[in-house]
Amino acid sequence: MTASGWVFDILLVGTLVWLAVRALAEVKLFKAVVLFIAFGLLVALAWVRLSAPDIALAEAAIGAGITGALLLDAVGHMRGRAEPYPTSPDAEKSSGGDADG
């Protein structure tokens, strides 16, 4: 393997780790789903680099394509609904969720 191949693989792994952490830590659902789709496409690219094009096609079609579309549809159906939990400490105080009184 050439030096440029190693550099590409290291960048690919670093980007995959970064996308995984960002997707899991993201508060906004739409952005988290978009990061998940990008992660799935890069995982497909990783499978191509590992000489497994059949698995790469399945990952791209199912992991990023179908699952991503279903998650985007679910996020679209959730628009306009109340948030299940407060996103900041100030939101909890203003909502009257005080259990003390």
Sorted by where each begins, the domain ranges of the chain are: 27-79
* Residue 85 contacts residue 36 (beta carbons within 8 Å): no
On average, the pLDDT of the chain sits at: 86
* Cβ within 8 Å of residue 33, ≥6 positions away: 68, 71, 72, 75
Chain segment 48-95, per-residue pLDDT in tens: 999 999 999 999 999 889 999 999 999 988 887 766 666 766 655 665
pLDDT at 42 over 70: yes
| Residue type present at position 12 | L
